[in-house]
Amino acid sequence: MCGIVCYVGNSKAKPLLIEGLKRLEYRGYDSSGIAVQDTGRMDYYRAVGKIVELEKRINGLEINGTTGIAHTRWATHGEPTEKNAHPHRDMEEKIYVIHNGIIENYQSIKKRLEKKGVIFRSDTDTEVIAHLVAENFTGNLNEAVRKAMSQIEGTFGIAVLHKDIPGQIVVARRGSPLIIGLGEDGNFAASDVSAMVRHTKNVIHLNDNELATITKDDVSISTLQATAIKREAERVEWSAEDVELDGFPHYMLKEIFEQPETIKNAMRGRLDKGEGVPRLGGIIPVWDKLKECRHIVIIACGTSYYSGCVGRYVFEKLTEIDVQVELASEFRYRKLNFPPNTFIISMSQSGETADTLAAMREARRKGAHLLGIVNVVDSSIARETDAGIYNHAGPEIGVASTKIFISQLTILTLLAILLGRHQNLSLTEGVEAIRAMEALPDQVQSILSKANHIEAIAAKYHDKSNWLFLGRKYQFPIAMEGALKLKEISYIHAEGYAAGEMKHGPIALINPQMPTVAIAPKDSLYDKMISNIQEIKSRRGPIIGIGTEGDTALKEMVDDFIEIPQTLDFLYPILTVVPCQLLAYYCALMLKRDIDRPRNLAKSVTVE
Ligand code: M6R
């Protein structure tokens, strides 16, 4: 959840580290810090709040060193205060450590060290690493970090700097991402490529239980047992522009407007229109087993979970496969009992979500096959699955996930059509589905072109403190996703409900102060939705209807109407979610929220 960036080279480290931190800020942003090595001293500064606070603190200071580490924090152990911000130091103030993850046995280590006289300055789990490295240091930093690693349990990506060892950074990983960037003018390390993509596209991924010593001219990787590892650099495809705002006021809005392209990217090269069969190269290694599979479990968290919920209905419609969708955080603690040849599909934008990874590993232990639908190439989930499909959506920076949701729906639908075509789905149905999918980018574009109308609706309702989102079948998960979007960025309380459940409780909430977003495209459950809308109307609840173009009956029934183009029942979610995203965005904008960095959240949830 936190962000790590390091540099060792010929240039001044300070501006490179601050720039990197800003690109990582979406991962965590309650405090930050920097340690830059200079001859015989360490320039060490920390600040509470966003990176700009750290910047203010060091502005104008002479920090000329060319080796440094920096961190942006999302608090787990200890409040977001300056003393808890990273880097953390040992007692002699020689060893500086930044850390992403959680040290599970930090309390027992801390007790042992305190008995030896070590004085702790923070409430964090991280600080034990600095003292452990110091305890094991006899002149070789890599060796000291390796020895410290063997004593700590939990997850970490760490970077360590020693005041008296110039031009050297030691990094290590277990469970939290750590990527090394090979630049022309020096080398980088970071928890996310976006922190260094402006300076290098040649990267080396560190695996679990590996560490590396980085200098300006060299990177040497080794295992926990000190065995040297040779690993070639890979090229990342993301450009610096991909991680820029490109004229949009927020990443979230940029990413919402990228969605037509996101759908195209998810489908590019993957459609065989003549045969009505998608081609998904990433699943070839498991295809023989997958095509026989009759039980799939989708595991994910948050928005990725809701796309899995839509996926269940799509698979039900197009295939003969039973699909179960599970929140990874719950699933990992369940007693698992799968039929033979069960496939797990782990869905994750970041590919680093701790709960999803842990749930996958548990399923693996029970004999399931693992597939991934992941955006970040070479992320932990991507590497631990047997096969998978990449979103190819480029970086998603806004904490509120938008374009990845649409991309996940697109890919799940492609997979369902592919499996369906090997079961009972006819050629005509396959061709019809693919044709309808090809129309989606333009259809999403046409919804985006009405953003002003949605903004005006947000202006009318953004001051209401409680909202309800309703849908049925394919639209039920969209109701939940719409509510999640609104609450996470605007802090308005919102609930997503299956419209059929209204009478079982939630209808008691309806009053003129509580807007309902009723998602009612012309699909198989349209008439049922209309009855639910009538029930709300008769209790004087204001209704924002999301419906199909030309549906004048719905338009007249609701207070505000947002039109979406017509498509097949199972593709409507890809269209109906867009107005929900825009409503959330504009409400948050009007409430002056920090849209890309909502409070208490982080983009990549790498702790349980
Ligand atoms: O990276 P992942 O897709 O695994 O992340 C899962 C959730 O943490 C994520 O979707 C979260 O719910 C977003 N903030 C929702 O907008």
Give the H/E segment covering residue 349.
none
Look at residue 577 in the predicted model and tell me its pLDDT: 98
Look at residue 1 in the predicted model and tell me its pLDDT: 61
138-144 mean pLDDT? 97
Mutate to test the pocket of ligand 1, among 250, 252, 304, 412 (most ligand atoms within 8 A of CB): 304
Token pair recorded at residue 150: 């063997």
Residue 541's nearest CA partner among 520, 561, 558 is: 558
pLDDT tens for residues 387-434?
999 998 888 889 999 999 999 999 999 999 999 999 999 999 999 999
Q: Cα 476 from chain centroid?
A: 22
Euclidean distance between CA atoms 266 and 189, whole angstroms: 29
Confidence of residue 26 (pLDDT cuts 50, 70, 90): low
Token pair recorded at residue 337: 């009992």
Euclidean distance between CA atoms 36 and 190, whole angstroms: 16
pLDDT at 192 over 90: no
98-112 mean pLDDT? 92
Look at residue 245 in the predicted model and tell me its pLDDT: 74
Q: How far is the centre of ligand 1, averaged over its atoms, from the C-alpha of 94 (Å)?
A: 38
Q: Is 603 a catalytic residue?
A: yes
Dihedral, CA of residue 349, residue 350, residue 352 and residue 353, to nearest 10: -50
pLDDT tens for residues 207-261?
999 999 999 999 999 999 999 999 999 998 777 767 777 679 999 999 999 999 9
3-state secondary structure 232-287: CCEECCCCCHHHCCCCCCCHHHHHHHCHHHHHHHHHCCCEECCCCEECCHHHHHHH
Active-site entry in 163, 317, 473, 603: 603
* Inter-axis angle of helices 475-490 and 572-590, nearest 10: 20
How many separate helices (H) and strands (E) can be counted in the chain? 19, 27
Percent of the chain with pLDDT over 70: 98
Q: Is 587 a catalytic residue?
A: no
pLDDT at 138 over 80: yes
CA atoms lying within 13 Å on the CB side of residue 135? 19
Between CA 28 and CA 316, with CA 305 as vertex, the angle to 5 degrees is 165
Look at residue 568 in the predicted model and tell me its pLDDT: 98
Beta bridge partners of 468: 495, 516
CA atoms lying within 13 Å on the CB side of residue 137? 23
Euclidean distance between CA atoms 132 and 110, whole angstroms: 9
Mutate to test the pocket of ligand 1, among 301, 478, 599, 604 (most ligand atoms within 8 A of CB): 301
Domains of the chain, earliest start first: 3-242 (3.60.20.10), 246-438 (3.40.50.10490), 441-595 (3.40.50.10490)
Confidence of residue 442 (pLDDT cuts 50, 70, 90): very high
Euclidean distance between CA atoms 23 and 196, whole angstroms: 9
pLDDT at 601 over 90: no
Confidence of residue 24 (pLDDT cuts 50, 70, 90): confident
Ligand 1 pocket check for 346: Cβ under 6 Å: no
Token pair recorded at residue 41: 């001293």
Residue 84, classed as helix, strand or coil, is coil
Percent of the chain with pLDDT over 90: 82
Count the neighbouring beta carbons within 10 Å of the beta carbon of residue 539. 15
Ligand 1 pocket check for 400: Cβ under 6 Å: yes
State the closest ligand 1 atom to the C-alpha of 300, by its place in the atom list counted from 1.
4
136-164 mean pLDDT? 95
Ligand 1 pocket check for 122: Cβ under 6 Å: no
